[in-house]
Amino acid sequence: MPEKNCYDVLGVSRTAEQAEIKKAYLTLAKQCHPDLKSGRNTPITKYQMQFVEINKAYAMLSDPVRRQKYDEALAAGRQGEASIETRASTNFFRHGVKSFNQGKMEEAIDAFESSLRTDDSNSTCRAYLGVAYFRKGDPRKAEVALKQATEGEAHSAQFIYYLGMVYKQLGLTDKALEAFEDAVSLDPSFKPAMDELDAMLTEKQSKGTAILKSLNPRQILSRVFKHH
């Protein structure tokens, strides 16, 4: 079977405008978004790999310079040359996800980093790298990777949720709360983010109530008028 080019992956024509390309990407990405939860000793799902291909295609076609070079390669019948890096990166990514699903975080991190060195446009791989660092107990590196992943795919509720979990572990409560709010805003049906948001808001409200109870009436009035 001939290899699909980036336009085929997104289901758009080679003359498609950026708005059409972005719309196709967002639609497909929502349909194929993978599950990043670890602890599953399962093979890589078709959705994980489809999502990677969708991200790679969008990264190629949304960059005018890369798109022009890619179009030139396609026109010259050199699609294979244009996709050598993509295949190598995908192989590293497959190995990384397999290790990730088996709980081998060190091995997964090595594979994901190799994948990104070959092709740094894969936001999904970067998100997996961040979660792997998080599972390994390195929240600082997890934060860096997940922030980059969310910048590459700002509409992903799941990526933003994991960034919130990292902030929570680092004790950055306000940032964690903001991340969970953003995740729920993007996808109200994403239960993990909703649960974390509810828990944090409840805790925040309880602390506020406890503080008020500890104040005398004069201190309460002072706080009220201070904010008016």
pLDDT for the residue 134:
94
In terms of phi and psi (left: phi > 0; alpha: psi -120 to 50; beta: otherwise), the region of 39 is: left
Domain that holds residue 187: 156-228
Within this chain, do residues 24 and 127 fall inside the same structural domain, yes or no? yes
Distance CA 152, CA 127 (A): 10
Is the predicted pLDDT of residue 196 greater than 80, yes or no?
A: yes
pLDDT at 211 (0 to 100): 52
- For residues 54 and 120, membership in a common domain is answered with yes
CATH number for the domain that contains residue 209: 1.25.40.10
| Residue 39 scores a pLDDT above 60 | no
> At a CB cut-off of 8 Å and minimum separation 6, what does 211 contact?
none
- Write out pLDDT tens, residues 124-176: 889 999 999 999 999 999 999 999 988 866 667 888 999 999 999 999 999 99
Cα three-residue angle 117-123-126, rounded to 5 degrees: 60
Among 18-27, 29-38, 201-210, 212-221, the range with the most confident prediction by mean pLDDT is 18-27
pLDDT of residue 33: 67
Tell me, what's the pLDDT at 80? 58
CATH number of the domain encompassing residue 29: 1.10.287.110
Which tokens sit at 68?
A: 């022009």
Query: 129, 151, 173: which is the final residue of a domain?
Result: 151
Mean pLDDT of 177-206: 89
68, 141: one domain: yes
Give residue 42's pLDDT band: very low, low, confident or very high (50, 70, 90): very low
104-143 as b/e: b if 16+ CB within 10 A: ebebbbbbbbbbbebbebbbbbbbbbbbbbbbeebbebbb
Q: Which residues contact 190 (CB under 8 A, 6 or more apart)?
A: 157, 158, 161, 183, 184
Stretch 192-204: mean pLDDT? 91
User: According to the model, what pLDDT value does residue 38 have?
Assistant: 42
pLDDT value at 198 more than 90? yes
Contacts of 70 by beta carbon, 8 Å cutoff, 6+ apart: 6, 60, 61, 82
Please report the pLDDT score of residue 1 as a whole number: 45
Q: Compute the distance between CA of residue 98 and CA of residue 204 in angstroms, rounded to an integer.
A: 39
Q: What is the pLDDT of residues 74-115, one digit of tens each?
A: 888 766 555 666 678 888 988 998 899 899 999 999 999 999
In this structure, are 125 and 183 located in the same domain?
no
91 and 190 share one domain: no
Same domain, 107 and 37: yes
**Co-location of 57 and 128 in the same domain:** yes
Q: Are residues 52 and 164 in the same domain?
A: no
Domain endpoint, select from 107, 135, 151: 151
Most confident of 62-76, 117-131, 172-186, 193-207: 172-186
Residues 89 and 115 in one domain: yes
Mean pLDDT, the chain, rounded, equals 82
Residues 10 and 115 in one domain: yes
- The SS3 of residue 110 is helix
- Give residue 23's pLDDT: 92
Looking at the fold, whether 160 and 146 belong to one and the same domain comes out as no
pTM of structure: 0.69
What percent of the chain stands above pLDDT 70? 76
Our count of domains for the chain comes to 2
Do 64 and 90 share a domain, yes or no? yes
Domain final residue, candidates 127, 151, 175 = 151
Of 116, 148, 117, 114, whose CA–CA distance to 130 is shortest?
A: 148
- Name the amino acid, one letter, at 131: V
Helix axis angle, 123-136 to 46-61, nearest 10°: 130
